[in-house]
Amino acid sequence: MQASKTLINDTSGNLKLIIATTIGSIFEIFDFIAFVFLSPILAELFFPKELASKAIWFTYLTIAISYLLRPIGGIILGHLGDKYGRKTVFSISILLMSIPSLLIGIMPTYASIGYFATGILIFMRILQGFSVGGEVPGSITYIAEKFKHANYFFACAWLTFGANFAVSIGSQSIRLLTEYTSHEFMLSIGWRIPFIFGSLLTIIGFYIRKSISESEAYQQIQRQKQQTKIPLLELLHSYRYPVISGILLAIIVSLTTSIFHVFLPNLFVTYFHFELSQTAGISSAGAITMALASLLFAYLTKYINPITILQSSLIILALIFAGISFNLISLATINNLYLWVIIISFFLAGINGLFFALLADLFPTQVRYSGVAVCYNIAYIFGAGITPLWTSSILEITHSYHYISLVCLLVASISLINSFNIKKLTHYPN
């Protein structure tokens, strides 16, 4: 009877931990999706009419600026998490994300206060970029350490599930808002709803996180007084090779998901005159596919070496990107775009479902938070932060998506070569 009660308590505690960490992941992506899909409306509301033709580009630049601040947030919050513990930083970071989102949702627009509105919008995105830089790496670090003696690949994959679930919910929310309300409603209060809702979601996450305990791995180095004085310096001095490998591991995920789940469907509205309601559905279908498949591939690590799953997925993705690049696979119709985004999403899950746990395994406890933060945030600058700028530029100049796919092929090939470095660094049993 006592054993049964202990099992129930452990299960309840594990579920609580997963929910507490996943909420941050859901909010980060939901807010990002809302900003991207509402970019045409935000451009209209926060920039002057004389910049109408370039306003969308400036909105994408705002996204890029927020990503550039992520490494700084990751370094500072990662330092605090490695030096003073995961729990406190883990709780603070989710509040730091929610406040800017709430302020964006209630702030006046350019019509009311002119360029002050533009400046406040950019500043709020910068604050979000700073806090997100520490939020996701903190979640990865905490979950990997708490579930180290269980299937932590599967536990970490719930963060991936949450992120992709947020893509689906976010894109469908925007689709419903734009489809069932007027343009006038969206310009008045409709655009505010996703930001206010997202900020309220984080309050639940903060409440849950208040009651979680510090990870056992960190408690152990605390007892033995093995914390590093300046984790970033130790990381760059002793773990440069794992940092480079971690960045190359994360960049294929950030690049491919941002292109095929977010930017490419959205850009097809602008350059190929697809309907927003159609492309939002594509993002949702791809995200749900990857969310479920990520859990599947992570679970399979109980039976198959994680590196084998990683390399197999990269090979298949490289073949698909080659097919798109050389016009053997067409994305020119809505049905084809649906089909291939779903296929790409399934095989990308073989990487996306594993890479959080792989990142955590590249570094010891003393510098794990900092190591994961540096790898994750630098990869997301190049993989997602500047993606709307170069993808929209390519489509504007060439009116062809083939060059975008060619970039994906190049990155997948580099990631495949890097997987052999990951194999050497992690030493998983065959």
Contact 246, 372 (CB under 8 A): yes
Confidence band, pLDDT 50/70/90 cuts, at residue 51: low
Please check the confidence at residue 404 and state whether its pLDDT lies above 70.
yes
pLDDT at residue 9, rounded to an integer:
44
pLDDT at residue 64, rounded to an integer:
73
Instruction: Return the minimum-mean-pLDDT range out of 26-30, 79-83, 332-336, 393-397.
Output: 26-30
Tokens of 203: 């309050």
Tokens of 281: 């559905």
pLDDT at residue 23, rounded to an integer:
74
Q: What span, in angstroms and rounded, lies between the C-alpha atoms of 212 and 219?
A: 13
State which amino acid sits at residue 150. Answer: A
Please check the confidence at residue 69 and state whether its pLDDT lies above 70.
yes
Confidence band, pLDDT 50/70/90 cuts, at residue 271: low
Between 426 and 43, the more confident residue is 426
Contact partners, residue 3, CB within 8 Å, separation at least 6: none
Contact 108, 117 (CB under 8 A): yes
Confidence band, pLDDT 50/70/90 cuts, at residue 3: very low
Cβ burial of 151 (10 Å; 0-12, 13-18, 19+) is: middle
User: pLDDT (tens digit, 9 = 90+) per residue, 206-242?
Assistant: 777 777 777 788 888 878 777 778 888 889 889 999 9
Range 69-80 average pLDDT = 87
Give the chain's end-to-end CA distance (angstroms, integer).
38
**Residue 280's Cα: distance from chain center in Å?**
18
Please check the confidence at residue 337 and state whether its pLDDT lies above 60.
yes
Nearest by Cα to 121 from 205, 24, 38:
38
pLDDT at residue 374, rounded to an integer:
92
User: Domain extents for the chain?
Assistant: 2-426
Contact 270, 400 (CB under 8 A): no
The two counts, helices (H) then strands (E), for the chain are 21, 0
Cβ burial of 399 (10 Å; 0-12, 13-18, 19+) is: exposed
Please check the confidence at residue 388 and state whether its pLDDT lies above 80.
no
Instruction: Return the minimum-mean-pLDDT range out of 15-29, 169-183, 283-297.
Output: 15-29
pTM of the model: 0.83
Which residue bears the tokens 């005159």?
A: 273
Between 347 and 268, the more confident residue is 347
Element (DSSP H or E) covering residue 69? none
Burial readout 255-279 (b: 16 or more C-beta within 10 A, e: otherwise): bbbbbbbbbbbbbbbebeebebeeb
pLDDT at residue 4, rounded to an integer:
39
Fold (topology level) of 2-426: Growth Hormone; Chain: A; (1.20.1250)
Share of the chain above pLDDT 70, in %: 89
Range 340-355 average pLDDT = 94
